[in-house]
Structure 1
């Protein structure tokens, strides 16, 4: 309790000494009366610009607040350039800790001296972030690497802030129905889980390796190689790569990078990670994205810092894809139905009222280009529209929403005329077709059919094992009878499966106005093959 109280006082102290309370209007009398209770904490940086004060405040508050600032740094449509420029400095210029401490941490991790494993270790970090900092070195074989080292005592600081945030969230949820619908407690616990995973560099190492495998043959994205033998919870060694930071627009243009293609590939990479791989980079702020300038007309992204990875359940992906497609088609009633089905709004919601609320938000902005659309403002407006329907924010989608914010900000900077909908829609339609539609059904059958054919045998063996465990006296079975019994079950199952396929072909033909289509033919062929197999087995048994 005392620890949380001290941290709360520390937060208030930092905010007030940097004068961030200056932006609160005078009409909020209660706040200004509360402010007078801390009369000894005056603004000590009055001559400093507000944007700089904001940046220094976030740095002083610690890693959780720094990451919040990193997310805001992509929102040029919400803040003026002076604030954005300062928030961008949070990404690479966080105050580093002593390089000699970093060296000691590395040696403790690899259980050996730096000089015995590396050459040219640079004691001065080349980058410093909220949770770790980066040093350069060379392996003994001459390959250049970067060494990432976790900040000392960072976990204790994160847990202290999370405890305080949970206390505040519980208070807000208790006094406000709006706060309860936000699921603040669940969101903060999920955020804590993500942050603590980020402080364990083994997570980042294996995540990086998986992303590298997912895009091994890709012309759109490159993931650096991890030297896993040197990695631990506090240290990670990765291939050193060269690239241009994604927000350095002037340098990208200087190298003649195809900005339109680069922007489109960014969108495609995002949707491929979410829908194809179900394994997406959850911290895609500009500081973690580089661009290779080796082929300006065939630009390639380079992703680093893969500590935060997101995954979605298949139902979540399906609902997201269907919502996107429905939005593209202006099918607001379907969006309303999907929200009710998913449980994102109260199940007793009047669907007509919800459809109207969604239409009011979406219709006026539907045909605008990405350069004219703010996803942040749309989401805020949509949240406002659905709040009357007990809209419930889903914790599993928070990371995806944050990633979408980053994608929007990057897309706006690279190519303001990028049509996000036009780029994303074919990908989503293809995913639904392959995963949910007829092709997806065939793939599911192909995957499950061997199991279904073997199921009678598995079931039989399971029953026999149960009987054996219950009574050792029943452990002798007539082999020939058991084989015939298993075969009989298989044949019955296959015969029924053939009947189902044949009936499905008839139904499809009926709905196609009695014209046989390719799907009907495929099902009929499956049925014939199954029945021929049954006939062949019966013939052998004779």
Structure 2
């Protein structure tokens, strides 16, 4: 019944704000136009369609607001009036009352607000679908930002997620593409990420991890958390001073190189994905600023770390191989990778899949971003994947969403940005570091402490195993195995001492070179 009630509320909201008229107005068929006229009889739809769409999403709740945030970055897919209105959802969702925010802060810390801050701005500086932010000053003079979770969010989100889970089950049962698209697994991923976003301590830890990862890159700033003032519903962090990236004219007038800013954004994204396997997955313009401080001029400022994506080593390698193959236009290798990974049935013909992928991707190479419609590419890829029964990978859903955000951001900064040529050198360098000789040496260096501890223990462990086998009467070949063990022991000793001598020789040679003893 709760699902039915929520579904009725969604339908009534759609009708109240005339979203049915907005959706059907794109169709040119006479019978559709007649249906629109009939459906709008008796309703006054005076507000512009963009305003009505934004208000409807705000009324429907945080999940729909997040959907609108993603859409707002795709100005190539939406009319400008609708995109401009949806952009207000990024950090201009109507705030909850200041008095209620004050009560929530005092409840979280168990103290009056005057005991914690020397000043606290009652008016929020930003208000989003999950939380809102106030500026404040600590007793020691540090300027901070205080993020407060919206009250009652958990119940609202849980209701919508239950509805999504039910719809996913029906899609899987009734749709021919249900098994391939894995709707239940995709919704489960979305469920997990949303609940993570409701835990602000998790967001603070995400920020701390991202700050460590980005240290030394000198392209992006991440605020430092005030850990003694971080709870599940309120967190306090360093206040960042920057200009929202949506204010392009102001950034350009300050002298920031916009084209470099666009390239830096691509570098940051690929570094987070392929080097760290830990990336900011909510990169809409409301969460990104640009520093104009002379010390950090032109750097990105990242905000809002409630949603981050993670990739395993296998995911990173698979994606990197695919990207490199795409950049080299090696469509046969792309097809082989899909089969090797199990994403398509093993009996799929490589040449047929290769030809289909080539037909989708080839027209888009060597073209600037302004001439590429990712929406059309994704639509054709979807049609191709349906034909070859490609299974959707739920763990990559966040990455796909973030790619859309990055493309939308790149389109706003530099429409002439060549995404392919910008990313290719980075990926080739990463591949060399991961699977070339440098990668092999790095992994050996990382594993050396474990090997150094394990190798001397191997003879004892083998002896204990053989002793247990003799006790339980499971090893009739025990004498031969023991003799083999003694030979192995001697061989291991030779190998260990030889390795130690070899390393010592290398160190001595390096020392001699550094001290100038080598003639």
TM beyond 0.5? yes
Equivalent position of 1:447 in the other structure: 446
2:502 to 529, 536, 540: 529
Q: Is the 8 A contact 1:357 1:386 kept in 2?
A: no
Distance change (3 Å), C-alpha of 1:468 and 1:333: closer
Q: Give distance in 1, aligned partners of 2:127 and 2:42.
A: 28
Find the counterpart in structure 2 of residue 195 from structure 1.
194
Distance in 2 separating the partners of 1:28 and 1:186: 40
Q: Confirm or deny that 1:391 pairs with 2:364.
A: no
Give 3-state SS (helix, strand or coil) of 1:120's partner: strand
Q: C-alpha separation between the residues in 1 aligned to 2:129 and 2:362?
A: 40
- Residue 411 of structure 1 corresponds to 410
1:219 alignment counterpart: 218
Distance in 2 (alpha carbons) for counterparts of 1:380 and 1:274: 24
User: Displacement of 1:493 after TM fit?
Assistant: 4.0
In the TM superposition, what whole-angstrom CA distance separates every residue of 1:46-95 from its partner, at most 9, and x where no partner exists? 11111111111111110001001101111111112101100001112111
Between the aligned partners of 1:463 and 1:360, the Cα distance in structure 2 is 57
Contact 1:73 1:84 in 2 (8 A): yes
User: Which residue in 2 is equivalent to 1:426?
Assistant: 425
Aligned positions of 1:451-462 closer than 5 A: 451-460=450-459, 462=461
Cα 1:526–1:331 shift into 2, 3 Å:
farther
Correspondence for 1:363: 362
Shift of 1:526: 7.3
Contact in 1 for aligned 2:17/2:56 (Cα 8 Å): yes
Instruction: Provide the residue aligned with 2:6 in structure 1.
Output: 7
Find the counterpart in structure 2 of residue 374 from structure 1: 373
Whether the 8 Å contact between 2:459 and 2:489 is mirrored in structure 1 is: no
Residue 346 (structure 1) shift: 1.8
Task: Indicate the residue corresponding to 1:327 in structure 2.
Answer: 326
- Per the TM alignment, residue 468 of structure 1 is displaced from its structure 2 partner at its CA by 11
- Measured after TM superposition, the shift of residue 371 of structure 1 is 2.0
Aligned-pair distance for 1:29?
Answer: 8.6
Deviations 1:434-478 (A, max 9, x none): 111222122222333443354344345556788999999xxxxxx
Counterparts of 1:57 and 1:390, CA distance in 2: 36
Aligned-partner Cα distance in 2 for 1:20–1:104? 37
Deviation track 1:497-536 (CA, whole Å, cap 9, x = no partner) reads 99xxxxxxxxxxxxxxxxxxxxxxxxxx979938999xxx
Deviation at 1:492, TM superposition (A): 2.1
Q: Distance in 2 between matches of 1:138 and 1:297?
A: 22
Cα displacement (A) at 1:179: 3.0
Give matches, 1:21-420, under 5 Å.
21-22=20-21, 23-24=23-24, 25=27, 44-295=43-294, 299-420=298-419
1:28 is displaced (CA, Å) by 11
Instruction: Check whether the contact 1:148–1:235 (CA below 8 A) recurs between aligned residues.
Output: yes
Structure 2 CA distance, aligned partners of 1:366 and 1:452? 46
Q: Distance in 2 between matches of 1:531 and 1:99?
A: 67
CA distance in 2, matches of 1:319, 1:287: 31
**Per-residue CA distance 1:153-197 (angstroms, 9 max, x = gap):** 101100100000111111111111223311111111110100110
Deviation at 1:494, TM superposition (A): 6.9
Deviation (angstroms), 1:109: 0.9
TM-score (norm 1): 0.84
Three-state SS of the structure 2 residue aligned to 1:145 is: strand
Alpha-carbon distance, 1:226 to partner: 0.8
Deviation track 1:226-264 (CA, whole Å, cap 9, x = no partner) reads 101101100010111111111211111111210111111
Q: 2-side partners of 1:255 and 1:269: how far apart?
A: 22
Contact 2:365 2:420 in 1 (8 A): no
| Distance across 2 between alignment mates of 1:308 and 1:454 | 39
Q: 1: distance between equivalents of 2:464 and 2:111?
A: 53
- How far did residue 103 of structure 1 move? 1.0
RMSD of the TM alignment (CA)? 3.3
> Could you say if the C-alpha distance between residues 471 and 233 of structure 1 is closer, same or farther in structure 2, counting changes exceeding 3 Å?
farther
Unaligned ranges ≥5, structure 1: 473-483, 499-524, 534-542
Q: Please say if residues 105 and 149 of structure 1, whose CA atoms lie closer than 8 Å, have aligned partners that are also in contact.
A: yes
Which sits farther off after the overlay, 353-362 or 449-458?
449-458
Between the aligned partners of 1:300 and 1:79, the Cα distance in structure 2 is 29
Retained in 1: the 8 A contact 2:366–2:418?
no
Shift of 1:416: 1.4
Distance 1:461 1:282 in 2: 49
Instruction: Assess, with a 3 A threshold, how the Cα gap between structure 1 residues 526 and 109 changes in structure 2: closer, same or farther.
Output: same
Stretches of 4+ aligned residues off by more than 6 angstroms: 26-30, 463-472, 484-488, 525-528, 530-533
Pair 235,469 (structure 1): closer, same or farther in 2 beyond 3 Å: farther
TM-score (ref. length: structure 2): 0.87
Give the Cα separation in 2 of the matches to 1:261 and 1:393.
Answer: 34
Q: Contact 1:434/1:440 (CA < 8 Å) preserved in 2?
A: yes
1:225 Cα deviation from its structure 2 partner = 1.3
The 3-state SS of whatever aligns with 1:177 is coil
Deviation, 1:26, is 8.9
Residue deviations 1:4-39 (CA, integer Å, cap 9, x gap): 111111111111111111133597999x99x99xx9
Distance verdict in 2 for CA 1:451–1:216, change over 3 Å: closer
Alignment gaps of 5+ in structure 2:
472-482, 507-519
Q: Secondary structure of 2:92's match?
A: coil
Q: Is the 8 A contact 1:263 1:414 kept in 2?
A: yes
Closer/same/farther in 2, CA of residues 390 and 308 from structure 1, 3 Å limit: same
Aligned equivalents of 2:17 and 2:440: distance in 1?
60
> 2:510 — aligned with what?
none
